[in-house]
Amino acid sequence: MLAPFLMFFSIILPFGLIFYARLIAPHRLSKKARIISAVCIVLLLAAISLAMPLSLYTARDPQLYMRYHVEAWLPWLYFLMTFICLLLMLVIFRDFGWTLSRIFCWARQKRAAKTAEPEANHSDAPQSSDTSEKASASEAAASDEAAADEALSRREFFKRVSTVATVGGAAILTPAAVMYATKGRRVRHFDITHARFPQALDGLRIAHLSDIHVGNTIGREDIEEIVAQTNALNPDLIVITGDMVDGLPDYIGSWLEPMKNFKAKHGTYFVTGNHDHLWDARGWCKFIADLGIRVLDNEHEIITIGSTPLAIAGAIDANGDRKNRKWKSDPEKALANIPPELFRLMLVHQPRSVDRCFAAGADLVLLGHTHGGQCWPLNHVINAMHKYARGLYEVDGHLAFVSCGTGYWGPPLRLGIPAEIDVLTLHPKA
């Protein structure tokens, strides 16, 4: 566990340097106060760095998990992670605002100096005597020194106020961000048309879930809410496109049991994601299948709705299984031998699989993985990283839809990118 801790701590340590440089160093504090502040920052970062290693370590040993009541205190480490992320964002925004303010003040002073210069050159006032000049200079110096002290005191006051406001703002926003991530799940409706979609199936409703990430801070109660929310949509199909879990089936398997209550007219389907392959993917596939959910392992199934057939295919995560190198993602195999006249719905997890699915003949590909960036401004980073990042895409008559995720990963933090359940209503294109 030491190696993962040191890795996470080295990644997060620059945040501590930023906090010290921007929140502690600018103030007139005693040496003792500076040392105490620095130690508090280091301890806070160390606690956060323990969250991931502890999750990985204890989730593989259910007895250890229960013995030390990890479920009671581990979420608080993730809440601290949310606080740190918000604090970093507020520090950046505050400093950006200060920079703009200084640029504006500098430009205004330059303008005032240019205006005052001609007036000084054309002044007709009589010259004062040497004694008067010395007295005036002395008075001006004293006045300037008093003004400088006043300005320094005012700046110090504003610095302290801004620091308190930044830290306090992050503390106040943390519970709101956690609630928004855990309870702010929304339902998004999309009407999707495709030239090859059968007229007889017009209005087919698919509830699309992805990236639930059960484990750490998402538990059985959250699954019960997701199941109830999904069933209320009265879907024809329910599909789950990977990253279901962060833990082993021996321990957190019971948290998924409410999923046996999914109600879809034509079944529920699942494909694995990269996180599922970190946690005994074979075991999870068997467990999920026992819940009544159809697991698509590089294969397809043809269902008949009324008298109209529809092909549903699925491939495991693009990275395959890390322990079993022979268990690889194979969209081509999943889509093979489907009658050409059938509409082909394809389920995968990562955007990198989409073009392979298109080339293999998929008409509509459903996927997740990106979380939509999970919070602003990371959504812009995700848009730059992935060809298929969020929402609906059309390429040469093929469609791909990327979910922003039904849960979250890491800190319970979603800003501007809420968790979602997508309802896709399919129509033939006129």
What is the pLDDT of the chain when averaged over all its residues?
86
> What does the pLDDT look like over 103-159, one tens digit per residue?
888 888 888 777 776 665 555 555 555 556 555 656 655 565 665 556 556 777 788
Instruction: Tell which wins on pLDDT, 415 or 260.
Output: 260
Instruction: Tell which wins on pLDDT, 381 or 156.
Output: 381
Question: Shortest CA distance to 70 belongs to which of 61, 57, 58?
Answer: 58
For residue 16, give every residue at least 6 positions away whose Cβ sits within 8 Å of its Cβ, in sequence order, or none.
41, 42, 44, 45
Question: At 232, is the pLDDT very low, low, confident or very high (cuts 50, 70, 90)?
Answer: very high
CB atoms within 10 A of CB 204: 23
For residue 116, give every residue at least 6 positions away whose Cβ sits within 8 Å of its Cβ, in sequence order, or none.
none
Say which amino acid occupies 332.
E
Check residue 71 and give its pLDDT: 67
Range in 75-79, 119-123, 359-363, 397-401 with the lowest mean pLDDT: 119-123
* Residue 244 CA, distance from chain mean position: 16
d(CA 390, CA 24): 39
Check residue 132 and give its pLDDT: 60
| 315 pLDDT higher than 60 | yes
Cβ-contact 170, 83 below 8 angstroms: yes
Query: Please, what is the Cα angle at 409 between 293 and 37, to 5 degrees?
Result: 160
> What does the pLDDT look like over 15-49, one tens digit per residue?
889 988 888 888 888 889 899 989 998 988 888 88
Question: What percent of the chain has pLDDT above 70?
Answer: 87
Check residue 53 and give its pLDDT: 76
Largest CA distance in the chain: 110
Site of tokens 């990562």: 350
Q: What is the per-residue DSSP string for 69-105?
A: THHHHHHHHHHHHHHHHHHHHHHHHHHHHHHHHHHHH
Question: What percent of the chain has pLDDT above 90?
Answer: 47
Question: At 68, is the pLDDT very low, low, confident or very high (cuts 50, 70, 90)?
Answer: low
Q: What is the per-residue DSSP string for 386-424?
A: -SS-SEEEEETTEEEEE---SS-SSSS--BSS--EEEEE
Question: At 411, is the pLDDT very low, low, confident or very high (cuts 50, 70, 90)?
Answer: confident
> What does the pLDDT look like over 159-211, one tens digit per residue?
888 888 999 999 998 988 888 888 889 999 999 999 999 999 999 999 999 99
| 250 pLDDT higher than 90 | no
Span 254-277, mean pLDDT? 94
| 257 pLDDT higher than 90 | yes
| 402 pLDDT higher than 70 | yes
Superfamily of domain 186-428: Metallo-dependent phosphatases (3.60.21.10)
d(CA 56, CA 53): 5
Indicate the domain borders of the chain: 2-117+130-180, 186-428
Site of tokens 């020194």: 145
d(CA 342, CA 373): 34
Site of tokens 């005036």: 136
Span 218-230, mean pLDDT? 93
Instruction: Tell which wins on pLDDT, 145 or 216.
Output: 216
Dihedral angle of Cα 350, 356, 362, 366, to the nearest 10 degrees:
10
Label the pairing between strands 391-395 and 398-402: antiparallel
